[in-house]
Structures are given as structure tokens and as C-alpha cells.
Amino acid sequence: MLSPLLDALIFFVLTTPLIGLMGQRFGREKIFVGVYVTFGFIFSLTLIPLFYSEVLRKNGISVTYGGSLSPEIVCLEANALSIFMAVIFLVIGFMASLFSIQEVRRGSITGYYTILLGMVTAMIGIVFSGDLFTLFIFWEAMCISSYALVAFRKERWESIEASYKYLIMSSAGSITVLFALSFLYGLTGTLNISYLSMSLAEAESNPLSYMALVMIIVGFGLQAGMVPFHTWLPDAHMAAPSPISAVLSGIMVKAGIYGLIKVLLSIFTPMSGPWQNTLAAFAVLTMFVGNLSALLQDDIKRLLAYSTIANTGYILLGLAIGSQRALTGSLFHVLNHAIVKALLFLCAGAFIHKTGTRSLKELAGIRHSMPITSTLFIIGTLSLASIPPLNIFWSELLIITGGLEAGTQAGTPLLSFLMIINLVFSAAYCLRMIQTVAVKKETVTSEKAAEASMWMLIPILTLGLLSILIGVYPSPFQNLAEAAAQAARA
């Protein structure tokens, strides 16, 4: 018994292939697997409120296996931060699985859904793990499923090339994290997060611990798309099937950010000065490179992928500023960006499904043939450009004011200023996307397109409504993010 949520999800992952087999016997594989996976997601989502109230009542729960809590024990922990991330992962994963009913070919549907569900489960395992050992196991499970999903359309050269690049870079990153973990283990003799932070606080500053810190920032940052290590991200997002791009950009990048938040804030608190400066430098570089490269793209999914890199930069910036307000902004931005980027990738997926092209030039004027999808795409783009009544505006505002509030020491107002410059760049490419979709004349390709089917429209509409809802009524969501930020700093 780990925890009810994780147990249920692991059960669903393991039984999906059996259901697929039964479906094949009856000749209705798609319906069987689709219904079963949807049921799995809904069931896990209903477990969340029960679990959340229990966590709030006990102020964080932990489950150990094999004995009582000691430095050597392996355990699961849940606090407000883990539940916050788990809800985001489940919602986006659910939307992607609804969307993919139309995308996936008949023969491979069981494998696809099993790996997708397994990836979401592994991510939830990451946020629930209370020691770095468990975290690493779930981390690798997530990475392996995502390599397989990027290479899913194996008959196309671009998915194979992107997946190979991604596999080499990402496994090098996770091995670097593992190496850092071995040093931490050597220094303290434990991998449990709460014991680690205690023993590191007692230990004298050792060059090995700084080495471990750098390696952890590099390894988790690689998964989060931090700039010198970002080159896998646009390729993988472009070559993967569209719902998988939404999952990669919406939540898998966030798992990397969760790793950074967890490790930096709870283990390396005594060394907060050095890592904050390092992280601030990386964050500024990340947002400039992301935004400037996005301006040059013609491929719609590549453009969105570069914008994901830029948004990672904003989130890391909030983490680097490190005050309560900025961290709340960061976590709130994780939520908002996951919703908006999943919305945009799913809309782009609907365009690509109907027209067969990813080029913005050929998608010009698609508003006339796909009105509903285009409207929601425009809502998402406006939100990405941080226009006030939509959701991303609020979290960016929190990060910027957090930077200004943190005072003049360490030059945090300068960071806020750099972020505002970046918001102008991002508004530029967002306006270009809107102009292409809505204002330009129709091309031959976009004239032929028809409105997307119902299974594609349901997740798109849900995510669009969520985006508007959070924009108009941000305070309850912001409170959740604030509770999560408090739990992260505790």
C-alpha cells in the first residue's frame, strides 16, 4: 500500500494491456481501452479531494515501507505542493488522452495508452516520493516512457531522429543527477530528503556538495529545458504526436522544475546564495534564447516549443528570486502555463490533423474553415501574450512584483526588468500567430480544412474555459499555489 492515488494509477497501468487484449478478442480495442483509461483518469481525479483534505489536516503525510522512519528508509511523502502538481499532471494527461482517441492509428492503441498512462503515473510518483531514491526510479520510468512516446510514429524519420537526440541528452542528464546523488549519499549516508537537509546543514561546506549542487541543477534543468541544454526540446515537441507534445510541454517539463524546486529548496537551503545567483543567470539566458528563437520560426509546433523554453525561464526566475511571493508566482505559472500550452498544442494538433501541414504560412486564414478551434487558439495565444483578463497575466504579475518587492539586494529588480523586456518579445510572436490565423487570406490548404471532431473539441473547450476561469477569478487557484509554495519552503 503506497498511497491510494498512486496505487490506483499503477493498477490501471498494469491492467490496460489486459483490457486491450480483451478488446482485440471482441474486435473493439479502441472503445475498450479508451473507456478504461478515461475511467482511470476520472477515478484518480475523484481521489484527489479526499486525499487533499487529509494532507491539509495532518500537514503532510508520509508512508514508509519496511519499518519506521529512519535515515535509511524509503518512503513516500505528500504535502500541498505534491497534490498541487499531481492535479495539474492528471488534468493535462486526461485531456491529452481524450484528444488522442482520434489521433492514434488502430493497431497501436493499447501500447499508446499504456505508455501515456504510465508516464502520468511516473510523474505523480515523482511528486509523491519522499526520498531521492524513489524519486530517481520514477524519474527514469517517466523518461523511458517519454522516449517511447516521442518515437511512437516510428515510420517517420523525424520522430526517430528527435527521439534518439532526446534519449542521449536526457539520459546523460539523469546519469548526472544520479552521480550527484551518489556524492550526497557519500557525504551524509542517507537519501531521505528531510534527513539530507538536516545533515547538510550540519556539515561543513565541502567542495563535493557544491559539485553535487551543480550536477543536480544541470541534470534537472536539462529535463526542464534550461538553455544550454535545451536543444532536444523543440525537436522532440515537433516530432511527437500532438497530444504527446501537449503532455511533454505541459507537464513533463514541469516535472523537471518540480525536481529543481524540491531539491534546491529543501536540501540545499544552507547554500541558497550561490544557487540563486547561478539559477538567475540560467533563467535570464533561457528566456532570452527561447523568445528570440521563437520569433524566427515558421513551424507552428516548433514556435510553441521555443515559447515553452521561454516560460521555463520565467518559472526559474521566480525560483531564483526565492521570496514567498515570487515562488507563489512560479507555481501559479506552472499551473497556468500547463493549461495554456496544452490548449495551444491541442489546437495546433487539430489544425495539423485536418490540414496535414505544420507550416504557419500554409495555415494562414484557417479561421474561416475551423472557427471554434481557431477562436480557442486565439484565446490561448492572447493568454500567452499575457493580456490581462486571461490566466497567464496573473502569475507573471506575481513573479515580477515578487522581484521588485525582494528589495535592491542581489539586483532582483533588474531581473524583473529583464522579464518585462521578454514579455514584449513574446507578445510579438503571439500577435504574429493571431495575425496568421485570423487576419491573413486563406491558402489552398486551409480552405480545404473542416471543423475538428467532437473528441478533439471537448478537451480544447475545457482547457479554454479553464484558462478564462482562472483569468477572471484567480484568487482560489492562487491560494492553492500559495499553500504549495509554503509547503515547498517549509
Partner 1 sequence: MACSVILFFIGLYCLIVKRNMVRLLMALEIMMNAVNLNFIALSSYRVEGSVHPLAHVFTILSIGIGGCIIALGLVITLYAYRHYRTLDVRELRRLKG
Binding site for partner 1 (CB under 8 A): 72, 133, 136-137, 140, 143-144, 147-148, 151, 154, 157-158, 160-165, 167-168, 171-172, 175, 178-179, 182-183, 185-186, 189, 191, 234-235, 238-239, 293, 296-299, 302
CB of 196 to partner 1, least distance (A): 13
Nearer residue to partner 1 within complex by CB, 43 or 288: 288
CB of 249 to partner 1, least distance (A): 16
The three grid cell numbers given for residue 410, joined into one nine-digit string: 542581489
Nearer residue to partner 1 within complex by CB, 70 or 277: 70
Nearer residue to partner 1 within complex by CB, 189 or 270: 189
Nearer residue to partner 1 within complex by CB, 184 or 317: 184
Rounded to whole angstroms, the Cα distance separating 327 from 320 reads 9
Nearer residue to partner 1 within complex by CB, 51 or 166: 166
CB of 155 to partner 1, least distance (A): 9
Nearer residue to partner 1 within complex by CB, 162 or 335: 162
The three grid cell numbers given for residue 226, joined into one nine-digit string: 534550461
User: For the residues of 63-83, what is the DSSP string, one character each?
Assistant: EEESSSS-TT-EEEEE-HHHH
CB of 137 to partner 1, least distance (A): 6
Nearer residue to partner 1 within complex by CB, 119 or 484: 119
429-462: b (≥16 Cβ within 10 Å) or e = bbebbbebbbebebbebbeebeebeeebbebbbb
Q: For residue 43, count other CB atoms closer than 10 A to its CB.
A: 14
- The answer to whether the CB of 59 falls within 8 A of the CB of 105 is no
CB of 245 to partner 1, least distance (A): 14
* C-alpha of 2 from chain center: 24
CB of 141 to partner 1, least distance (A): 8
Rounded to whole angstroms, the Cα distance separating 304 from 256 reads 18
- What single DSSP character describes residue 106? S
The tally of CA atoms less than 13 A away on the side-chain side of residue 169 is 22
CB of 304 to partner 1, least distance (A): 13
Rounded to whole angstroms, the Cα distance separating 235 from 225 reads 12
- The answer to whether the CB of 122 falls within 8 A of the CB of 255 is no
Instruction: Note the residue count of the chain.
Output: 490
Q: Which amino acid is at 387?
A: I
